[in-house]
Structure 1
Amino acid sequence: MNALDYLTTDPIPDGTHQQTPSGLLRFITAGSVDDGKSTLIGRLLYDTGNVAADQLAAIHATSQKRGLAAIDWSLLTDGLIAEREQGITIDVAYRYFATARRKFIIGDAPGHEQYTRNMVTAASSADTAILLVDARKGVTTQTRRHAYLAHLLGIRELVLAVNKMDLVDWQPMVYKSIVDTFNSFVAALGRHHVHAIPMSALNGTNVASRAEAIPWYHGPSLLEHLEAVPARRDAEHAPLRLPVQRVVRVMLGNAANGANVTEFRGYQGTLASGQMQIGDEVTIWPSGQRARVSRLNVAERSLPAASADRAVVVSLDREIDISRGDMLSDPIQPPRVVKTLNADICWLSEQPLQARGKYLVKHTTRTVNALFEELSYRVDVNTLAHQAAPETAIMNDILRVKLKLQQPLLVDAYVDNRTTGSFIVIDPLSLHTVAAGVII
């Protein structure tokens, strides 16, 4: 076998690229500054026919004013004035597009280390992560950090997009070295599917269509891969979780003439997971009482059933004292009721963590006071070594911690439920989000 043969094979098993994909795919692009994330998305939108004629004319004119020989595709996604001036992505830019085979939502995450917190936000709902690497620079610390955060947030489908290959004359050994380095790092994290693709986002090579001119690569283009990669849709099949957002009194019927007007007390929220239908028995936490679902409503419309991600108003067959922050759950598979959180966090604030400082933990619809009882270790994102018992944390640090809560929370492990297994930490004085965490 030739040393480069493995570069042309698809590491996703079971002939995924021959299967017919279904449903929406949410993916993010991430990488270091200037690796070409926004350019890649702009090119992808253009090549799939999702750029309006007036948009194309505007970015063409702007590119000419800047003296550029080619269109700057990043102008399609870098929307903030500060982003356009600095040539970097600051905020998460979400874009929607579709092909004949699938619909997509893209999150263009910032590459600058200062905005890693925005990448965490984008990755929290993604099925797939595209990690861009500049072929001239190779795998960087920020590449490793983004890969680790994708791992932490449960993303198992990774695309290593080796960009700007045209600037290294499409040398296969440059590509091989980058792929080997990245695969070695990811292998230490656990089980992931990594698909590597050489490309030039600016020129559109291997973005929407396969590049036949690269003799040593016979894999799919980026778009072909995205059209085939499976989306993670496990929330509907997980145990029922409905965090109560607020208690409402719902009026049904024609209030103008008083005809057929009925009133019921309902509990409003979005199903974090599972399914609910009229007649189902549920347990209400933290009281542990049980009741049956007597009505499901969206606005004034009744529903026979609802599933994950659906916002509903639920009525029960008996009166129970329920308030915001409580949770309706599957009676057989309940959440954990805890006053201590063992979690992995990413510190997002420029202000260091105060080891005995007071913080707020916001989990689903409940917010409680908390203290950091223990900082177990910090993760070195380059070596994955654990630095035991750090005294504090600074921006972008990833730590294993123990939080002591003033009131109980209703949680699941993050690997079982993305919504009830995640939380944020808030500074009670500034009300700024200082950390994001996943429960273990």
Structure 2
Amino acid sequence: MVNYYIKKTTTLTDWGKVFFSTASLKYYPPKFVLRDPIKQGVSKAFKNGYEVAVIVYHIENIHEIHQQLEPSPYQQYIKTLKIAFLNAVKTRQHAENILSIHDYDQNSVTLFVRMDRTLDCVAEIEATIKSILHNVQVYMSDKGADVQLIFNTGFMFLEKKYISIQESIYQAHQQAVIMAMKQKESEFNKMVYALSNIVEKKDIRLLAQPILDVETNEVRACEMLTRGPIGTPLESPLNLFSFARQTKFLYDLEMIVLEKTLEQIKRTKWQQDIFINFTPLTIGNPCFVKDLKGLMKKYKDIASNKLIIEVTERDSFEGLEYFISNLKILRTLGFRIAVDDTGAGYASLNSISEIMPDIIKIDRSVIQDIDKNSVKESMLKGLLLIAKEVGSIVVAEGIESAEEASVLSRNKVDLAQGYFYARPTSLSNNLQAL
């Protein structure tokens, strides 16, 4: 068995593949050995503001393949599979985001991936999983590997609060393995039970980040942000929603966020607008409109025109039969629609033409250092023209400096949010700040 990593460099041509003997490594040891390049890569990614995720590709039928092939062809098959993964990583767009690739045992392959925190990390991770898996299968087919591989995948984001980088990597790897190897019923069921308890008890916290008028600095709205139970692996919203998505709890969780948001609006008597995030999967659920109407009936004093349904993630909504029709119904009920991540890629621009949103949220990737980059300011001007054509209000996200804010003011951007203005806090605290 070998342990190999792709050394992180600035260009693909600089990649080096190094093989180590790993006879001491076991798949589920008390602590698995971490080579310095992994820890260094993760540490550097954290310092540069990235999130890092562990992806595990577990080969479900590896033992069947072993039984079907003679020892020598089997070893060649495994060698070809490793090359297929290396090739899939190397040829992937933005391959530099793959920090390392390992085979802790011959039943699985593990990737460490950095993610830009300004993107929707869950959607990006799922896109990475699918594209690499597709490329691996194409490569194996081209090489004449007739035995069909069956993969189970799992992923989890690294927590930044652990005492050491190694501990953070170990915990995330364990959880990703549990997700991929669902046949490990005891461990998998513990995590499912923990999430089902969160859903049953509605054990989440909501924070509110204010959205301000760029010219007057007056608070016009808040965006609701979710946190899991304090001190648990699911406290992080990335891990909470990642796990919910992989275990089919996503719809329930997002509806709980809506219900608890309505509870807080009623309790605090909040009068400004509220942005609530929903994935296309939830909006496209055939039960969504009915369940939303039921909650609004329960909180009948809250006007629907104060709630903004923010379509998150860059998932394609193609194939979601009820997505567009549900949005049309929401509009007839008085809700407004916002599109997130605008400017981060073709998908978000395509969403604007399909959805014709009331509000366009410009992605942090456009805003970051816009005061130092004339091209980014030109991009902003182009997006403002699109918004004017659609008739949309514009919200700029992720403002972190006075210089960035001044560019927004110069270009007459409507609204903005970010740490420069205020960090997320409780809705009641935001009410007091008005």
TM range (shorter): under 0.3
In the superposition, the TM-score normalised over structure 1's length comes to: 0.27
Larger radius of gyration: 1
TM-score by length of 2: 0.27
The structure with the greater share of residues assigned to strand is 1
* Structure with a larger share of its residues in helix: 2
